[in-house]
Structure formats: structure tokens, C-alpha cells
Chains A and B, each alone.
Chain A
Amino acid sequence: MSGQRSAVARITGTRRTDLWPGNFKLGMWVWFLHRLTGVIILLYLVSHLLVIAFSRSASSFDSLMAFFYRPVILVLELLLLAVIIFHTLNGFRIMLFDLGIGIRWQKALFWGLMGVGALMWAFSAIILLPFVSGA
């Protein structure tokens, strides 16, 4: 069966070499990044719940939050926000494709949405960055 191509590969004309990361085009990288950002967010969710679940008293919760209120963590949180914005906006793009919208101009749609995402992230960073340095 090794010589046989899947139905998707036959219809879209995908070759085996197209699946090698060195040959990825934009859509394939976005597909990969959507999976990667999804896994990152899921791992964050798990750690977020663990941290809260194991600091159950007011004093332990407050001291933990005070520990997190430092530049390194705030920068990591802004990076996480970028990851979430990417996943959200590309998820919106995937749902448009489900409705048959924008498939032909998927690259323009991607860069347009990333422009919107950059604005959203910049808005958040402008509000939150002063607290990174002045903690």
C-alpha cells in the first residue's frame, strides 16, 4: 500500500515531499503553528489549574501571586497572550474556511488577521508593560 496516495493527497495534488518541513508553504506552517500553539495553551491550562489547586489558603495564594508579580513572569504572560491571539485569530480563519469563505485568498486573510492580532497585542502590551518594569 506504500505507493498508494490518500484521497486528500489525490484531490489536492499533495506529494510526499510536500510534507517535509523544509518544503512547507505558508498554509502548512500555519497548520503546524496552530497545533503547536494549541499544545502550549493546553500545557498552560494544566499548570494554571495546578498552581491554583495547590495554594488553597489566602496566605499561600497571596504569596504565590506576589512571587509571580515580577518582570520575567509578566514578559512570559505577554508571550502567552501572543500565542493565544494567534490561535484565536487563526481559529477564526479555519471557521471561515468551514463556511467556504476566503479559501481562495487564504494567504491575504492570514496576514490581514495577523495585522489585527499585532494591534490587539500592542494594545495589551502598552497597558501592561509599565507594570513589568515598575513592579
Chain B
Amino acid sequence: MRSKAEAGLLAWILQRVTAVLLFFALGIHLWVIHFVEPGKAITFESVVSRMQNPLLMSVDLTLLAAAMFHGLNGVRIIALDFGIGSRGLRALTWLLVFSGVVGFLFGVNALWPFLFTSGRPLLEEAWWSLIRS
């Protein structure tokens, strides 16, 4: 990134790109879960079988990544609307980047048991290795 203006422009473009991605990914997510068989109970097993379809799994991962960016960049836009200063904006941006990375990893971690049903969940594994050490 050569300048702040370029970073701002990139954020502006990515907000539009993720908006379009969200439109399709969230549409598919909601359609598959709630409208294909209306009233069908959501169970662990039904989520696992959804995750076994590579296309639907990538839809959910795209949804997670795009929603994280769009939501957190949205917070940045609200701060700009209310006239945040350049130093505050800088601090907020780094905080949001950090939150986004943590949020994405947390989301992948939440999906983990459905992706790998036999293995132990990532968070618990890390937790247990921390306790054991």
C-alpha cells in the first residue's frame, strides 16, 4: 500500500466486493438450511452432511471471511461518519484487523467439529495441551 488514500480506496472496493459475495453466500446458506426442506430440524448430522459437500463448505467459509471483513470495515465506516481523527482511525483499523483475524480463526474453529467429526476440536486441544504443559 503506497498511501493512506490507496488503503482507503482498497477498503471501499473490498466493501463492495464482499457485499456481492455476501449476497450470494448468505442467500445459499439460508436457502439450503431453511427453505429446501422448510421446518426440517437442524441437527449435528445435517450440518456434517452439508459440510461434506465441498461447494457448500466453501460457501460457508466464504460467508465467514466476507462477513468478518464487511462487518468490521462497517465499524470503521461508522467511525469515519462520526468524524474519527486520523490517529484514532489508525488505532481502530489495527484493532479491527486483529479482531477480523481472530474472528475468522474462531469461526473456522467453530466449524471444526463438523468438518472433522472424529478428531478432537481445535480449541479444546489447544486448551488441554496448555493445561498439560
Q: Which residues from chain A sit less than 8 Å from chain B, CB to CB?
A: 35, 38-39, 41-42, 45-46, 49, 52-53, 56-58, 61-62, 65-66, 69, 81, 84, 88, 91, 95, 98, 124, 127-128, 130-131, 134
Residues on the B chain within 8 Å of A81, using CB: 30
Q: Which residues from chain B sit less than 8 Å from chain A, CB to CB?
A: 16, 19, 22-23, 26, 30, 34-35, 38-39, 41-45, 47, 67-68, 71-72, 74-75, 78, 81, 103, 106-107, 109-111, 113, 121, 123-124
B38 touching A95, Cβ below 8 Å: no
A52 touching B110, Cβ below 8 Å: yes
B23 touching A65, Cβ below 8 Å: no
Could you list 14 examples of A-B contacts with CB < 8 Å? A38-B74, A39-B78, A42-B72, A45-B68, A49-B106, A53-B106, A56-B113, A56-B124, A65-B41, A65-B43, A88-B22, A98-B16, A127-B35, A130-B38
**Sample of 19 more A-B contacts, CB < 8 Å, known A65-B41, A130-B38:** A39-B78, A45-B67, A45-B68, A49-B110, A52-B110, A53-B107, A53-B123, A56-B113, A58-B44, A62-B44, A65-B42, A65-B43, A81-B30, A84-B26, A88-B22, A95-B16, A98-B16, A127-B38, A130-B39
A49-B106, A52-B110, A56-B121 are known contacts. Are A42 and B75 too (CB-CB below 8 A)?
Answer: yes
Closest B-chain residue to A69, C-beta based? B41
Q: Tell me, rounded to whole Å, the shortest Cβ–Cβ distance linking A57 to chain B.
A: 7
Task: Please measure, in the bound complex, the distance between the C-alpha atom of A38 and the C-alpha atom of B18, giving whole angstroms.
Answer: 14
Task: Please measure, in the bound complex, the distance between the C-alpha atom of A95 and the C-alpha atom of B45, giving whole angstroms.
Answer: 39
A35-B78, A56-B124 are known contacts. Are A88 and B23 too (CB-CB below 8 A)?
Answer: yes
Pairs of residues from A and B, 5 with the lowest C-beta to C-beta distance, nearest first: A53-B110, A58-B44, A42-B71, A131-B39, A52-B110
